[in-house]
Chain A
Amino acid sequence: MIPLATVAIHPVDAALVVLYFVVIAVVGLWLSRGVKTGKDLFLGGRSLPWWAVGTSLVVSDIGAKDMVGLADDGYRYGMVMMNFDFIGCIFPVLVAAFLFMPYLWLAGVYTIPEYLGRRYNRTVRTLFALIWGTSMVAMVATIFVSAATMFEHLLGWNFYVSIGILTVLVGVYTTLGGLKAVVFTDFVSCIVLIVGAALICIVGLIEVGGWSELQRRVAELPGTEHHFNLVLPADAKEFSWPSVLLGLGFVAGPAYWIGNQAIVQRTLGTTSQSAARASYILCAAIKMVFPILLVVPGLIGLALFHDQVGPKDDPNWQGGQVLPLLVQLLPRGVLGIVLGAFMAGVMSNLDSYVNSASTLWVNDIYRPLLRPQADDHEVLVVGRWLIVVFLAGGAAGSYFVRHYFGSVFEAFQTFLSLFQGALLALLLLGMLFRRINGVGGVAGIVVGVGLAFFLHGWKHLGPGYMEISYLWVAWWSFVAALVTTVIFSLLTKPYDEERLRGLVYSLPDTERVPQ
């Protein structure tokens, strides 16, 4: 790996970064005044405007790992990576806005496992709460590592000093201000992120000589015949169109945008189900632009820095270099805005996950299983302390993630694919069909997650067994969970209609107003 020269920060750039920090801190602390109950902390008192939630949805998804990772992947694979935001985000978000969101919102729940508990049974709720709760805490550690690594490469900051600064800053406004502070600071962060990412693209394209010149220079390099194609042939080694359409578009994307607590929680905090729907539509609209802003820098990096970064097919190819090299092209002042965008990506990602992890542990583990008699004040206090604990735990865990895991991002994607298929199958069947019951749900989780484990371990059976892409694992575990849930539900007694009212598409409860 080529040692990188870190970026020298001019006082103008440093002032812009400090200004961003100050704005975020002031907005976050100002909004902390109204937090009096658990509902204020976890759902912003159900008073969040759609436009703020829509932008918050976008930046809760985009973090440091995406900014650095998608630039690397754009360099290696080209425009096919935009599918993660097109078919993998816009399609499920539009479906969720009209099919799923109204039911989650009207059910008046705080979390996805809480909905599944009402629709199926307590076992399903607890299983998914434990899976998501654990993975979200691990996610906090991975966000810390990806962010601190980026600052270390880019600015020469000490790894643990970066984590310390992030812990204190995010901890203060997230603990005090709850979801409302998270959503409104995310709104500021989204604007900064879009401006910063656009500036990288504009400066990079000017440096290359325009879009046509970019295409010409990339085409001259070996192995780039599909770099400007969104859809790859069915026999492509990676990201073939059937695997992208079925695995990403029909399972991984919908499971993430419909079943991820960190994503769904902010829409549950909107003022009405119409506002929840509008926030998702705004998110989809913004997401039409983001893949271009995040993947095109990778193509620019390929055209400009292929001699320094190296061949994309080299097995020793190491990521994380494309974006830092591009950033070094930026003029004074612009660099400050882009650095602010990096901070925005990191902080908005981090605050969303710690707030949602706290919500999930309090509402699905602590209150129903450990302290059913807990009053609202106790829930508020425990929720705040858990945010502190998760930030501290994530900071401590970052040491182990950094030293004992090779590719954090891929490991986490693999872990997610173990249960995303089963989760989506249960959500889809539970919301669409009244005949599905709790016995079917539990059987679906066991078979779906079990098959995912088996397929991930497939390559270890012997030399003739090829590794199966995590997109295919997600698809087949989804199919297995779907079929199993249907069969076991049909073989056992159905729930009565009144129990399902307001939870299933064919049994709406339009008079219900969530508390």
Chain B
Amino acid sequence: MIGRLAFAAVFALLIVWLIVIPRDRIGQEERVPPWWRNVRVWAIAIAASQIAVYLCWG
């Protein structure tokens, strides 16, 4: 149980970091692209799916 929580926690921390990265660090200082072209949104979705994978299959 501790193991699967540890893996899920790593991806949860990754999501927090992805949310707080300043826009100018990822080339979005002028305008935010629509969600379907926003790499930050896709990265968060992939990390969230990994949390689900580890909690379900861990």
Which residues of A approach B to under 8 Å, CB–CB? Answer: 79, 86-87, 90-91, 94-95, 97-98, 102, 228-234, 241-242, 245, 249, 272-274, 277-278, 281, 284-285, 288, 508, 510
Q: Kindly name the residue among A231, A232, A277, A510 whose own CB sees the greatest number of chain B CB atoms within 10 A.
A: A231
A95–B21 CA distance with the chains assembled, in angstroms: 11
Could you list 16 examples of A-B contacts with CB < 8 Å? Answer: A79-B57, A87-B10, A94-B46, A98-B25, A98-B43, A230-B7, A241-B3, A245-B6, A245-B7, A245-B10, A249-B10, A274-B39, A277-B27, A284-B46, A288-B49, A510-B24
A38–B27 CA distance with the chains assembled, in angstroms: 28
User: Of the candidates A231, A274, A278, A285, which one forms a contact with B58 in the assembled complex, judged by CB atoms under 8 Å apart?
Assistant: A231
User: Of the candidates A241, A273, A284, which one forms a contact with B27 in the assembled complex, judged by CB atoms under 8 Å apart?
Assistant: A273
A264–B25 CA distance with the chains assembled, in angstroms: 20
User: B46 near A285 (CB under 8 angstroms)?
Assistant: yes
The 3 closest A-B pairs by CB, nearest first: A241-B3, A231-B3, A231-B58
List 6 additional contacts besides A272-B27, A288-B50; criterion CB under 8 Å.
A79-B57, A86-B53, A90-B50, A245-B7, A284-B43, A285-B42
User: B46 near A281 (CB under 8 angstroms)?
Assistant: yes
Who on chain A is nearest to B3 by CB?
A: A241
Chain B proximity of A381: nearest CB distance (Å) = 36
Residues of B within 8 A of A79 (CB): 57
Who on chain A is nearest to B11 by CB?
A: A91
Secondary structure dominating the interface of B: helix
User: B54 near A231 (CB under 8 angstroms)?
Assistant: yes
Residues of A within 8 A of B57 (CB): 79, 228-230
A91–B42 CA distance with the chains assembled, in angstroms: 13
- Known interface pairs A90-B50, A97-B39, A245-B6; A230-B58 also in contact (CB < 8 Å): yes
Taking CB atoms and an 8 Å cut-off, the chain B residues in 3-25 that contact chain A are: 3-4, 6-7, 10-11, 14, 18, 21, 24-25
A431–B52 CA distance with the chains assembled, in angstroms: 31
Chain B proximity of A86: nearest CB distance (Å) = 6
A277–B25 CA distance with the chains assembled, in angstroms: 12
Residues of A within 8 A of B21 (CB): 98
User: B46 near A241 (CB under 8 angstroms)?
Assistant: no
A98–B3 CA distance with the chains assembled, in angstroms: 26
A385–B54 CA distance with the chains assembled, in angstroms: 47
Interface flag for B32 (CB, 8 Å): no
Contact with A along B37-51 (1 / 0, CB 8 A): 001101100110110
A91–B39 CA distance with the chains assembled, in angstroms: 15
A158–B25 CA distance with the chains assembled, in angstroms: 53
User: B53 near A281 (CB under 8 angstroms)?
Assistant: no
Chain B proximity of A432: nearest CB distance (Å) = 13
- Known interface pairs A229-B57, A281-B39; A90-B46 also in contact (CB < 8 Å): yes
Chain B proximity of A282: nearest CB distance (Å) = 9
Who on chain B is nearest to A245 by CB?
A: B6
User: A241 near B6 (CB under 8 angstroms)?
Assistant: yes
Residues of B within 8 A of A278 (CB): 39
User: B58 near A229 (CB under 8 angstroms)?
Assistant: yes
Residues of A within 8 A of B3 (CB): 231-234, 241-242, 245
Residues of B within 8 A of A228 (CB): 57
A95–B11 CA distance with the chains assembled, in angstroms: 11
- Known interface pairs A94-B47, A230-B54, A241-B7; A102-B39 also in contact (CB < 8 Å): no
Residues of B within 8 A of A95 (CB): 14
Chain B proximity of A51: nearest CB distance (Å) = 13
Chain A proximity of B2: nearest CB distance (Å) = 8
- Known interface pairs A230-B53, A231-B58; A281-B42 also in contact (CB < 8 Å): yes
Residues of B within 8 A of A508 (CB): 24-25
A95–B18 CA distance with the chains assembled, in angstroms: 9
Who on chain A is nearest to B58 by CB?
A: A231
Q: Kindly name the residue among B3, B6, B10 whose own CB sees the greatest number of chain A CB atoms within 10 A.
A: B3
User: A94 near B53 (CB under 8 angstroms)?
Assistant: no
A281–B42 CA distance with the chains assembled, in angstroms: 7
A79–B53 CA distance with the chains assembled, in angstroms: 12
User: A277 near B39 (CB under 8 angstroms)?
Assistant: yes
Residues of B within 8 A of A90 (CB): 46-47, 50
Residues of B within 8 A of A274 (CB): 27, 39
A98–B39 CA distance with the chains assembled, in angstroms: 9
User: A288 near B10 (CB under 8 angstroms)?
Assistant: no
A232–B43 CA distance with the chains assembled, in angstroms: 27
Residues of B within 8 A of A242 (CB): 3
User: Of the candidates B14, B25, B26, which one forms a contact with A91 in the assembled complex, judged by CB atoms under 8 Å apart?
Assistant: B14
Chain B proximity of A279: nearest CB distance (Å) = 10
Who on chain B is nearest to A230 by CB?
A: B57
Residues of B within 8 A of A281 (CB): 39, 42-43, 46
Residues of B within 8 A of A102 (CB): 25-27
Who on chain A is nearest to B1 by CB?
A: A231
A273–B28 CA distance with the chains assembled, in angstroms: 11
Residues of A within 8 A of B43 (CB): 94, 97-98, 281, 284
User: B10 near A231 (CB under 8 angstroms)?
Assistant: no
User: B46 near A98 (CB under 8 angstroms)?
Assistant: no
Residues of A within 8 A of B54 (CB): 86, 230-231
User: B7 near A87 (CB under 8 angstroms)?
Assistant: yes
User: Of the candidates B2, B42, B50, which one forms a contact with A86 in the assembled complex, judged by CB atoms under 8 Å apart?
Assistant: B50
User: A98 near B18 (CB under 8 angstroms)?
Assistant: yes
